[in-house]
Amino acid sequence: MAAKRNVSDKAFRRLLEIEDLHVNYGKSRVIHGISLEVSQGEKLVIMGRNGMGKTTLVKSIVGVLPVVGGEIFFGNETIAKRSSSWRSKKGIAYVPQGREIIPDFTVKENLELGAIAHISESGQGKYTMEQRMETVFTYFPAIKEHLHRKGGVLSGGQQQQLAIGRALMSRPVMILLDEPTDGIQPNVVADLADTLNQIRKDLHVTIIIVEQNLKFAFKIAERYIIIQKGMIVSRGQVSELTDSLISKYLSV
């Protein structure tokens, strides 16, 4: 059983808290002492140039990469040593860069994978598989039309919708998305931003995105952090992000 913290009501509203986090990728130290708080229902964007540690940070939060130092709290529980499956059951969902849907599985089968661990052996759980799918179709009606097609034949935009839909099948409290606009047409990107904002509003889901598309990030996020060489070098409200910071840390 995970250790719990004695916290005030105000502190408990901090859904995610990271304290002095250190993470390796292979034998190399990539994250160097990051501390971060994310409130319930917040929308945060993690920015930075390629190779600065953004994906490593996200993977450590979802449990794909082990933590070598520091703590991660979700709600009032420490989760740094917990498995990714345990974190998923607690409400943390992950949409990886490249989407990683199973190409030979149908759309329906890919969606079902997102809920299997969250439904009891009786097939019910708090929400049935059908109820979960209907929620997904509310936001991504186009993938309902392709329910029995293999995921690998879908367009990039449809695959991204499927990947987010698969994450929603777990009825998450928090979703982390890694470069969700990668390889997607501009008109689809605009629709995706609107959909994610609606999901957050309707389902009260906390959203954390890793993103280099500034227009997309600004349309979704309220707050930002910029990572350089595994450390946070700037943080604040998106509305306060200046051209000089963009030029210094984000321009290629």
Determine, yes or no, domain membership for 8: no
Tell whether the model's pLDDT for residue 231 goes beyond 70.
yes
User: Residue 32, SS3?
Assistant: strand
Q: What are residue 133's phi and psi, to 5 degrees?
A: -65, -40
Tell whether the model's pLDDT for residue 10 goes beyond 90.
no
Determine, yes or no, domain membership for 73: no
Tell whether the model's pLDDT for residue 8 goes beyond 80.
no
Determine, yes or no, domain membership for 156: yes
| Mean of pLDDT over the chain | 91
Structure confidence by residue, pLDDT tens digits, 43-90: 999 999 999 999 999 999 999 999 999 999 999 899 999 999 999 999
Can you give the CATH number for the domain in which 185 is found? 3.40.50.300
Is the model more confident about 148 or about 13? 148
Measured CA to CA, the distance from residue 149 to residue 235 in angstroms comes to 43
> Whole domain around residue 207: which residue ranges?
42-65+83-249
Tell whether the model's pLDDT for residue 23 goes beyond 70.
yes
User: What pLDDT does 118 receive?
Assistant: 87
Determine, yes or no, domain membership for 72: no
Tell whether the model's pLDDT for residue 1 goes beyond 70.
no
Tell whether the model's pLDDT for residue 241 goes beyond 90.
yes
Virtual CA dihedral for 85, 88, 93, 96, nearest 10 degrees? -10
| Domains identified in the chain, total number | 1
Determine, yes or no, domain membership for 180: yes
Determine, yes or no, domain membership for 6: no
Q: What is the mean pLDDT of residues 219-245?
A: 96
Measured CA to CA, the distance from residue 171 to residue 137 in angstroms comes to 14
Determine, yes or no, domain membership for 118: yes
Query: pTM for this structure?
Result: 0.91
- Residue 90's Cβ-count burial label (10 Å; 0-12, 13-18, 19+) is middle
User: What pLDDT does 210 receive?
Assistant: 97
Measured CA to CA, the distance from residue 173 to residue 171 in angstroms comes to 7
Determine, yes or no, domain membership for 37: no
